[in-house]
Amino acid sequence: MLDNHFKKEKFKKSVKENVKMLYRKTIDEATQEQVFQAVSLAVKDVIIDNWLLTQKQYEKDDPKIVYYLSMEFLMGRALGNNLINLCAYKEVKEALDELGFDLNVIEDQEPDPALGNGGLGRLAACFLDSLATLGYCAYGCGIRYHYGLFKQKIENGYQVEVPDNWLKDGYPFELRRPEYAKEVKFGGYVRVEYDPATGKNHFIQEGYQSVRAIPYDMPIVGYNNQIVNTLRIWDAEAVNDFQLDLFDKGEYHKAVEQENLAKNIVEVLYPNDNHYAGKELRLKQQYFFISASIQAAIEKFKKSHSDLHDLPKKVTFQLNDTHPTMTVAELMRILVDEEGMSWEDAWDITTHTCAYTNHTIMAEALEKWPIELFSKLLPRVYQIIEEINRRFLLEIQAKYPGDQEKIRKMAIIYDGQVKMAHLAIAGGYSVNGVAKLHTEILEKQELRDFYEMYPEKFNNKTNGITQRRFLLHGNPLLADWITDHIGDGWITSLPELEKLKVYADDKKAQQEFMNIKHQNKVRLAKYILEHNGIEVNPNSIFDVQVKRLHEYKRQLMNILHVMYLYNKIKEHPEMPFYPRTFIFGAKAAAGYRRAKQTIKLINAVADVVNNDRSIDGKIKVVFIENYRVSNAEMIFAAADVSEQISTASKEASGTGNMKFMLNGAPTLGTMDGANVEIVEEVGAENAFIFGLSSDEVINYENNGGYDPMQYFNNDPDIRNVLMQLINGTYSGGDFNMFREIYDSLLNTNSSDRADTYFILADFKSYAAAQEKVEAAYRDEAGWAKMALLNTACSGKFTSDRTIQQYVDEIWHLDKVVIGK
């Protein structure tokens, strides 16, 4: 579709006009950043027309709405993606060429909106893309953090966090909507008032502080269908300007407190990934955006519907992990306290409107809020949770009379804590895991009691990714090649990639496929030289691990293996060895000590290995600074090998694994998360699988019997590598620099078992799998076939499929077509 607005001359004129209006400059005086703003404004103009059109259609059709509630949306840049989905990328590129600008450079001016940490936040972004593309009425609801995930600098090998002031130049793809502001109340106390007329109690919150939640809307452009959905993120402002009476009453202090509350609440995204810290401000953030979002949703519903009992027919609240679980209680509060509904009716509505997605089984990621903190901050919401818990315990007792153990394990409030996962399961109609294996583990292990009680609530939705960003935009050469061979149906129907299978043995196709990979490697090599000052050889194998840094993801095993290879090459210089570039990209949570030490280790090994002329450049190690969505797109396109090496059972799904596969990189991994399904699709012969199974890991964890010291004692290769952590090899003689890492693998000096993540157990089978990678890569035709088949078999992993399953099996939304 070539939208009229993107006729080149008209677009050029509009860009020049915007430069003039915004900056009082002619186009040749404008900076690249100013041209970015001007181009974005021209694009936004087109988007807004479609946005209005979509709104009109929704008003006409009155479709069921899903609210995707999430503390994180890791959107990545919008300009390029919007042009892709408007089918205007090539026209705009040409128009800018003619004006003397390079669209790639213009795109690079945009800050990455990084309102998320990793997998969970990026999944939310992919889902919004698919929802708009498939024509479903969906709102993303989140927080407009003034600072997104920190930018990472590497100084002297260590991570340094730099604030991400993404709003400093103004973000062109957002719209402030002050007319939809909502008030959110914190603290104070609850006064109960008996109404003799109705015989009912009224619960009135008093002495509270409040903030005003102001929505900012970002357009979510569907692919080639004129649909534009909305990501609504809430900013906070002090309410003082309409509570000036506080000053009059001399309550100066309270007024200032409210001002600070507003300032702090949306200041910054918590940089923890898969790790719960229990901070009061985080709890405030949760209630802030949930209260505002649910109020807005109910208000919207009431505009066109008279009976709140119909809410489940028209609305679903999908909870992205437990972070938005406050929804259950807030919805109850609104229905009972504000709408005057009976508890029973309100509970029936709530439990047919809320649905919960679990993204992790890691114990340290489970949210458990201390009662003290919770009830002080949210007195009325806490009362409601107490009542939900009281009734829930009665239900458990009815089902399992006298079973105290069940109560201990399942209660929502227990041991002085509010357990958010239990509230989410009791308060909703669906609980889903994010990959087959993960859902099975939830049912059999982590949530077993809940599964036994409510088997009908449990279901699996294997994650997916959007091919529009991670192939069409990120890898234009491959995208064009695919379209030349099988047409462009894959853009909205990824399983069509299957048609590429007939080319798997075709010499010409193989060569073209690998030639594109080579060009993408050259592009990445240039980026690495510019950003890291390291020269890498595009003819070497690009072996890539990019994801958050976490012990369970085992970047440590990867770098220990590099140390092992380096030893081997030093010992046997004549040994045949195919040149390899080990590429890492990872942010560590600011307070995660072990993770930060691992980054230092990777950089220390890189320092030694990259500067050792005696190994002839056979190994290079690169740590890409500030891994984020925008450089990820380029990295996936250039990868030969996809490292997915988490301890089996720990990675719920993974989604990076899917992005690599789509771009033709075979998986080197454990049978964990969605890797299992990747292997199912592509065949074990087109992946490199190693390591303990999830059953074996879980068995060790439940029954003991794992002793890492055995590996240290019996395997000289392993012993050598570990000794190098404490003998100064990579630390300029400092014996202590990596001592803690060494201890974590061997010493049981705390309650934790040593080598919690079974690195030594899996080390040798990992090394063996790596040898298979090298042998396979030497067979050029064989490798090309394997790479091509990975792309061809990746059709299942589109988020379009995931979303369609959510729609069919959980949400039951109505499809909307513009103009129908």
| Positions marked catalytic | 359, 547-548, 553, 655, 659
| Binding-site member from 37, 50, 54, 117 for ligand 26Y (CB under 6 A) | 117
Q: Closer CB to ligand 26Y, residue 360 or residue 647?
A: 360
Residues 6 or more apart in contact with residue 289 via CB below 8 angstroms? 69, 71, 141, 142, 143, 213, 234, 324
**123: contact with ligand 26Y by CB under 6 A:** yes
C-beta of 273: minimal distance to ligand 26Y in Å?
A: 5
CA-CA distance, 316 to 301, in Å (whole number)? 12
C-beta of 63: minimal distance to ligand 26Y in Å?
A: 26
**761: contact with ligand 26Y by CB under 6 A:** no
The answer to whether the beta carbons of residues 804 and 680 sit under 8 Å apart is no
The residue nearest ligand 26Y at its CB is 119
**274: contact with ligand 26Y by CB under 6 A:** yes
**74: contact with ligand 26Y by CB under 6 A:** no
Tell me the window of 112-120, 180-188, 701-709, 799-807 that interacts with ligand 26Y (CB under 6 A). Answer: 112-120
Residues 6 or more apart in contact with residue 787 via CB below 8 angstroms? 513, 514, 517, 640, 664, 665, 666
The answer to whether the beta carbons of residues 57 and 816 sit under 8 Å apart is yes
**365: contact with ligand 26Y by CB under 6 A:** yes
The answer to whether the beta carbons of residues 813 and 147 sit under 8 Å apart is no
| Binding-site member from 654, 664, 666, 669 for ligand 26Y (CB under 6 A) | 654
| Binding-site member from 434, 500, 544, 787 for ligand 26Y (CB under 6 A) | 434
Q: Closer CB to ligand 26Y, residue 87 or residue 373?
A: 373
| Binding-site member from 54, 325, 327, 360 for ligand 26Y (CB under 6 A) | 360
Place of tokens 């940490």: 117
Cα–Cα separations (whole angstroms), residue 532 to 54, 56, 552, 576, 606: 44, 49, 27, 29, 12
**276: contact with ligand 26Y by CB under 6 A:** yes
What one-letter code names the amino acid at 43?
V
Tell me the window of 15-23, 359-367, 394-402, 442-450 that interacts with ligand 26Y (CB under 6 A). Answer: 359-367
507-532 and 780-792 helices cross at what angle (nearest 10)?
A: 90
Neighbours of 439 (CB within 10 A): 23
Residues in region 659-698 near ligand 26Y by CB under 6 A: 673
**632: contact with ligand 26Y by CB under 6 A:** no
As beta bridge partners, residue 176 has 216
| Binding-site member from 174, 217, 367, 443 for ligand 26Y (CB under 6 A) | 367
Q: Closer CB to ligand 26Y, residue 145 or residue 712?
A: 145
Q: Closer CB to ligand 26Y, residue 273 or residue 446?
A: 273
What one-letter code names the amino acid at 145?
Y
Beta strands in 561-618 (DSSP E): 580-585
Cα–Cα separations (whole angstroms), residue 398 to 346, 407, 412: 22, 11, 17
CA-CA distance, 460 to 805, in Å (whole number)? 9
Residues in region 297-336 near ligand 26Y by CB under 6 A: 321
Tell me the window of 256-264, 271-279, 490-498, 619-627 that interacts with ligand 26Y (CB under 6 A). Answer: 271-279
3-state secondary structure (DSSP) of residue 403: coil
Would you state the structure tokens that stand for residue 755, as one six-digit string? 């080598």
**651: contact with ligand 26Y by CB under 6 A:** yes
Would you state the structure tokens that stand for residue 475, as one six-digit string? 């890898």
Q: Closer CB to ligand 26Y, residue 285 or residue 626?
A: 285
The half-sphere exposure of 412 on its side-chain side, counting CA atoms within 13 A, is 27
| Binding-site member from 120, 138, 255, 632 for ligand 26Y (CB under 6 A) | 120
**653: contact with ligand 26Y by CB under 6 A:** yes
Query: Could you tell me how many residues make up the chain?
Result: 820
**643: contact with ligand 26Y by CB under 6 A:** no
Q: Closer CB to ligand 26Y, residue 418 or residue 760?
A: 418
Neighbours of 502 (CB within 10 A): 12
Cα–Cα separations (whole angstroms), residue 459 to 347, 597, 694, 743, 785: 22, 38, 20, 40, 35
As beta bridge partners, residue 688 has 668
CA-CA distance, 800 to 818, in Å (whole number)? 19
**283: contact with ligand 26Y by CB under 6 A:** no
Tell me the window of 104-112, 268-276, 300-308, 629-637 that interacts with ligand 26Y (CB under 6 A). Answer: 268-276
Tell me the window of 44-52, 269-277, 524-532, 718-726 that interacts with ligand 26Y (CB under 6 A). Answer: 269-277
C-beta of 647: minimal distance to ligand 26Y in Å?
A: 12
Tell me the window of 253-261, 391-399, 497-505, 652-660 that interacts with ligand 26Y (CB under 6 A). Answer: 652-660
C-beta of 558: minimal distance to ligand 26Y in Å?
A: 17
The answer to whether the beta carbons of residues 357 and 653 sit under 8 Å apart is no
The residues that touch ligand 26Y, with contacts defined as CB under 6 A, are 117-120, 123, 270, 272-276, 321, 359-360, 365, 367, 434, 463, 651-655, 673
